[in-house]
Amino acid sequence: SPDDNFIHNVWRKVHFNNGNFEIMGFPVVCEGLMAFQDFRCHHQYDKIKTESPILLKVNGNLITVKDEGFMDALENNCKQKLLHQGINDPSFKLELISPELSKQKLVTYKEKKIATSQIRLKVWGKKKTRKELFELGLGKSTGCGFGCVSIYE
């Protein structure tokens, strides 16, 4: 729904209780969905694509894949998120792949047009590191909003 108030009111009534998922008091059963721990990750890396665009700020300014330093800023942002979760993986790194498919995307957020990035990456690191990052999401926001990714190969 494009109605922000409707989505906000539904989201307020989402509850997780001992692994059970409820919306407005009704149990939700998800069949056929795969948890990240069930993915058959590659041994050293995963190839991912953004399902929702990446929002990234450096020194208060939005930057996109078209800006110089984007990849370094994204990798640093991801490392900081992981460190906040207690994960320090020296083998972690990001590699932009298929740059011809990378694009800047304007989205409306809180009635403002903002520049975001749609990209494909190779994510190197331990499986635990990659799983945690995919759950956290890439960029400024969370894995269920901006920065949501999927493993495609």
Does the pLDDT value for residue 42 go beyond 80? no
- Cα 24 to Cα 8, 60, 88, 145, distances in angstroms: 12, 37, 38, 21
In this predicted structure, what is the pLDDT of residue 36?
45
Residue 7, C-beta contacts closer than 8 angstroms, at least 6 positions apart: 1
Contact between 25 and 10 under an 8 Å Cβ cutoff? The reply is: no
pLDDT at 41 > cutoff 50: yes
Average pLDDT on 60-71 reads: 93
Please, which pLDDT band fits residue 137 given cuts at 50, 70 and 90?
Answer: confident
Q: What is the pLDDT of residues 68-123, one digit of tens each?
A: 999 999 999 999 999 999 999 999 999 999 889 899 989 887 888 989 999 999 99
Q: What is the pLDDT of residues 1-37, one digit of tens each?
A: 456 666 666 666 555 555 555 665 666 655 444 454 4
Return the pLDDT at 120: 94
Instruction: Pick 46 or 16 by higher pLDDT.
Output: 46
